[in-house]
Amino acid sequence: MPLAEARAVLLGPVGVPTEAGEGLEVVEADEESDLRVLAEEGRRGWRFTPLVSLTPTARSGQPPDQDPRSRPESLLANITGCGHLFGDERGLATAMHQEWSGRGFAVRVAVAGSPGTAWAIAHAAHWTGQPWVPLLASAGRDELWMRRLPIEALALQPRVVRALRELDVVKVEDLLGLPLSEIKRRFGEQTLWRIDRALGRWQEPLECLPMPDPVVACRTFDDPISRADWLQQALRELVLEVACGLQRRGRVAWRLVCRVRSEASKVEPEWVEWVTGLVEPSRQADHLWELVSLQSERRRWPAQVVELQVSAEGVVVPERPQQTLFESGTEYETAAHDGRLRRGMARLVERLSSRLGERSVSRPVLSEAVVPESAVVLVPVGREASQESGLGAGPGLELGFGPLTRPLRLLEGPRAIEVMAVVPEGPPIRFAWEGRDRRVVRYWGPERIETGWWADSGVARDYYRVETDAGEWYWLFRRRGDARWFVHGVFE
Amino acid sequence: MSRQDTIKDLTARLRRIERRAAPAAEREQSIGTGHAALDSVLPAGGLRRGTLLEWINGEGPGSGAATLALLAAGGLMRQQESGPAGTLAVVDRAGGFYTAAAAGLGLSPERILLVQAGTEDEWKWAVEQVLRSSAIDVALTWADSLDDRVFRRWQLAAELGGGVGMLVRSAEVVREASWASVRLMVRGCVGEESATGRRWSVRVLTGGVGRGAWRAGYQERDVLLELSDETGGLRLLPRLERAVPPGVSATG
């Protein structure tokens, strides 16, 4: 809608806001400025994939009012082969969503087999009823997704959309049911091309944002080195060089990658790669070196090293600290306190992950699984620690049990035990555990836990909480198939 | 002077020194656990930041010391002065810490950082790191055997970080020197037939040497606590309620 028209509708003829325009702030659209911001945001996307492109404005050769794809509001990223760095493609999409929504953008993320389909799904996300969650079209199902979307998702010319709607063509599948020759005759070749673009039938090239100079430092040795202390010293120098390189460029990095080339193998030189990830991007030499050296404590240097290389990856412009007008008062102090906590948590997670490995530092998430051992999923904390002053937040799953119903220690696998019961299907009276005979004085149960017939590994158990004469509590179950007893947990 | 007399003399002197300390000031600095019954057991009337607490299982691991530790931790985490609730770091060497149970005790899984350490060295290092971090409000770990120097390092780390370190330990450590400010011996008690909760006998042991420790001046005594399975509330029981029922009782 042109600005003049919007003013007339919302501000009224004499500039007094109408009911619809109350509290309205009118800002003139500035597409050049939008494009600059979009390019800056696109560079942030390098932490997810090196192939990030702005909406190809020039591709259709049409102004934004004629081709919705030309509006400076979308980033297209080729994430082929990057999903595993975030667990999977859903993890990557979620991380992308958090990156931009955490910074105040209203963001929609969609993953599909082609840029056109991804754009279409993201722009028609409101149709799914969950517009603000990442949407993924699994492999080979792009067209299935597209068929259910409204025709606006095809980014057709507005006049074409209007004409189609008059003909009661509402969804993409309605349009695809029409003969192609008829579409071409009535709406032109451009419309056919846009349909192909949205359905991924046209191989759309992405014009990716150019990467800045790589920040790399390397050392080649004339004679192979096997001494760990020498290699450690060389590694330190390289990390400091990379930190200086980041400093000079005014950039910070999300991770350092250390590559070691060894000639220990007689066949061909072998490259070993270590990645040190950060929770908050940094260029502080001491901090980077501390993390790299912590990680190297759990790595073994290969023998006969002939080359060392350290490179900074995920290089981005540092976030400016938020400025406040009044640097005092409760709000400011709270924000500063939260900022300190967030940095403290980020540093702690970085140190722990570097030394113990990323998978050793996790946040437990409760799932709806029936089987106790699957009811908690451990998610590596990684970058999500920086989202809040502590860890993640948000409402948890509704618990279906009381404070004393589940044991604090769940054994990694249920351990078979000998149990004495008065009746075959009855509760336990005595059981032996860790070499001691234990008499049951109180018990609660049975609590039946079983999976449906459709589950891959079926579970059918009758659980009992038991109290022994020594005041200890254990979680036992009888397997319904063969009536064998197991200890599954200890109420520590 | 005989050896016995020397010990008596030293104990008496220590008591005099302890009495000079200001318990009121200690109480002012303490933070309630959110469970009045538990606060009444703790010498300072609550938890003190920058200190270590030992929760000692009187019998086997099923005595429930860790459950009480988590109840205390939950209260501390909810009583943040500003911002979101505090953070609990669980450094688990054995594996198998079951967050669903912690959630049942009222702790939000979103506020739990779970650290799994593979080797003993990594575990000691990880505990020190979380104690040293100001981003962690409570650190919980299981420490059956602990070198005195490591214990001291942890205590200093807790002072630096300002959180509370909770160590769940076995009864074998009672005679060992401790750098914890409070040592609690937890014994599971057999509950009444009709009751649905869990009972403990808790005793504050003397002998801690950390900051704010309660030593010879403190009178050791057993206190009976019961956690309700229905409400999640913890209450103090009079001594008379300690009767142990014979036989087996059951709830379906």
Q: How many CB atoms sit inside 10 A of residue B26's CB?
A: 17
Residue A7 forms part of a structural domain: no
| Chain A: closest CA distance from residue B24 (Å) | 29
Residue A479: strand pairing partners: A461
Q: Per-residue pLDDT tens for A134-161?
A: 888 888 888 888 998 999 999 998 889 9
- Cα distance from B221 to chain A (closest Cα, Å)? 19
CA distances from B161 to A3, A341, A362, B164 (A): 56, 12, 21, 9
**Pair (A194, A225) in one structural domain:** no
- In chain A, residues with a C-beta closer than 8 Å to the C-beta of B83 are 334, 337-338, 341, 389
Q: What is the nearest CA distance from A420 to chain B, expressed in angstroms?
A: 13
Domain contains A472:
yes
Mean pLDDT (chain A, rounded): 83
Round to whole Å and give the CA distance between A281 and A254: 4
* Statement to judge: residues A82 and A172 lie in one domain: yes
Contact A487, A418 (CB under 8 A): no
A190 with A264, same domain: the answer is: no
The answer to whether B104 contacts A399, with C-beta atoms less than 8 Å apart, is yes
| Same domain flag for A234 and A97 | no
What is the pLDDT at residue B52?
95
Which of A268, A299, A316 lies at the terminal end of a domain, its last residue? A316
Contact A491 B252 (CB under 8 A): no
Pair of tokens at residue A52: 């990030």
Are A402 and B229 inside 8 Å of each other by CB? yes
**How many A/B residue pairs have CB atoms within 8 Å?**
224
Interface of A with B in 359-388 (CB under 8 A): 360-366, 372, 375-376, 378, 381, 388
Q: pLDDT by residue (tens digit) across A23-65? A: 777 777 788 888 888 888 888 888 888 888 886 544 444 555 5
Is A297 part of the contact surface with chain B (CB cutoff 8 Å)? no
- In angstroms and rounded to an integer, the radius of gyration of the C-alpha atoms of chain A is 30
Give me the half-sphere count of Cα atoms (radius 13 Å) on the Cβ side of residue A61.
2
Task: For residue A443, give its domain range.
Answer: 409-490
Residues A194 and A303 in one domain: no
pLDDT digits (tens), chain B, 252 positions: 788 888 777 776 765 555 444 445 554 578 888 888 988 888 888 889 999 999 999 988 899 999 999 999 988 887 655 455 789 999 998 889 999 999 999 898 888 999 999 899 999 999 999 999 999 999 999 998 899 999 999 999 999 999 999 999 999 988 888 999 999 999 998 877 667 789 999 998 865 554 444 444 455 678 889 998 888 888 888 765 444 444 555 554
Q: How many angstroms separate the Cα of A282 from the Cα of each of A277, A278, A312?
A: 10, 8, 10
Cα angle B76-B77-B79, degrees, rounded to a multiple of 5: 65
Looking at the structure, tell me whether residues A156 and A65 fall in a common domain.
yes
* Residues A219, A193 share a domain: no
CA dihedral B55, B58, B59, B61 (to 10 degrees): 0
CB atoms within 10 A of CB B186: 24
A413 lies in the same domain as A439: yes
Please give the Cα distance from A417 to A68 (Å, whole number).
67
Strand partners, A75: A54
Beta bridge pairs of residue A443: A466, B250
Is there a contact between A75 and A236 (Cβ–Cβ < 8 Å)?
Answer: no
What residues in B contact A389, CB-CB < 8 Å?
Answer: 83-84, 135
**Residue that finishes a domain, picked among A297, A316, A335:** A316
The encoded tokens of residue A333 equal 């102090």
State yes or no: pLDDT of A482 exceeds 50. Answer: yes
CATH fold of B3-242 reads Rossmann fold (3.40.50)
- Tell whether A238 and A187 lie within a shared domain: no
Nearest CA in chain A to B137: A390
Examine the fold and report which residue of A250, A283, A316 is the final residue of a domain before the chain moves on. Answer: A316
Between CA B131 and CA B96, with CA B93 as vertex, the angle to 5 degrees is 115
For residue B136, what is the nearest residue in chain A, using CA coordinates? A345
Q: Are residues A37 and A139 in the same domain?
A: yes
- Number of Cβ within a 10 Å radius of residue A71: 18
Between A246-260, A313-327, A446-460, the lowest mean confidence (pLDDT) is in: A313-327
Looking at the structure, tell me whether residues A181 and A220 fall in a common domain: no
| Residue A9 counted as domain residue | no
Contact between B116 and A351 using a beta-carbon 8 Å cutoff: no
DSSP code of residue B11: H
User: Packing angle between helix A285-296 and helix A330-356, nearest 10 degrees?
Assistant: 30
Task: Report the chain A residue with the minimal C-alpha distance to residue B192.
Answer: A442
Q: How far apart are CA B110 and CA B113, in angstroms?
A: 8
Q: Locate all alpha helices (DSSP H) within A83-171, ordered by sequence.
A: 89-101, 115-123, 142-147, 158-166
Is residue A377 domain-resident? no
pLDDT in tens, A327-361: 445 555 566 666 777 788 889 999 999 999 888 99
The domain limits of chain B are 3-242
- Which chain B residue has the Cα nearest residue A467? B190
Tell me: do A139 and A279 sit in the same domain: no
Q: What pTM was estimated for this model as a whole? A: 0.65
Please indicate, yes or no, if residue A156 is contained in any of the structural domains. yes
